[in-house]
Amino acid sequence: MIFQLPAPELKNSESLVSCIEARRSVREYTDAPLPISVVSQLLWSAQGVTGLDHKRATPSAGGLYPLRLTILVQRVAELEPGTYEYQADSHSLKLIGGRVSERALKELGIGDQPWLKEAALIIGVAANLGEAVQRFESQPPQGVRGARYVYMEMGALAQNVHLQSTALGVGCVLVAGFDDSKAKKTLRLPLDLEPAALLCIGQR
């Protein structure tokens, strides 16, 4: 099943400077669902197509775009709880699995991180490291440069989502302290993708 997201809003009243100043990691959320417009805006900020040749919101070394988003929906208006893959070209969500239990979400975190189960939405970011490593193999340090580039891109994506969350008044925290094998299973990742980050988002 494919769910078409509403078009993103391209004019924003919040200034970039005020969002940079106001951004904080937010780990406490209310039970209120996120509007679908917020989800649309956040995913567009992360990996939305913004230009010719399928160019996206975040810069990508060599234009490889090795990051893939899996969306764990818990409380979003107009969207069934479940596991979705973001399809950047069509700005849509493809249903790939059921709702992840609160227990499984909690167990993803290293240590006690209740915000994983309390978030209305988690954007799981996974990376195709192999492709990037291979692409930049001729540039030393071999086997390292490609991976380095992928994680730089991951940081740009995360900051876009943080600043967009701030502009929309929703809470966001980046969780990189997670159990890799559990994250692979929960995000339903194929063998060529490695989990890179979990962005927890909810109403404040």
Ligand X SMILES: Cc1cc2nc3c(=O)[nH]c(=O)nc-3n(C[C@H](O)[C@H](O)[C@H](O)COP(=O)(O)O)c2cc1C
Instruction: Return residues touching ligand X (CB under 6 A).
Output: 24-25, 27, 113, 173-177
SS3 164: helix
Nearer to ligand X, 82 or 171 (CB): 171
Which residue is closest to ligand X by CB? Answer: 177
Nearer to ligand X, 79 or 174 (CB): 174
Distance of alpha carbon 143 from alpha carbon 15, whole angstroms: 40
Integer CA distances (angstroms), 86 to 69, 75, 148, 161, 194, in order: 6, 17, 24, 14, 16
* Min dist. Cβ of residue 202 to ligand X (A): 13
Nearer to ligand X, 15 or 25 (CB): 25
* Min dist. Cβ of residue 50 to ligand X (A): 24
* Min dist. Cβ of residue 107 to ligand X (A): 14
Helices 36-47 & 145-168 angle (0-180, nearest 10): 150
* Min dist. Cβ of residue 78 to ligand X (A): 28
Nearer to ligand X, 73 or 157 (CB): 157
Considering only CA atoms, which of 158, 101, 100, 103 is closest in space to residue 127?
A: 158
Distance of alpha carbon 148 from alpha carbon 80, whole angstroms: 36
- At 11, list the tokens: 């004019």
* Min dist. Cβ of residue 5 to ligand X (A): 27
Nearer to ligand X, 2 or 20 (CB): 20
CB distance 201 to 119 below 8 Å: yes
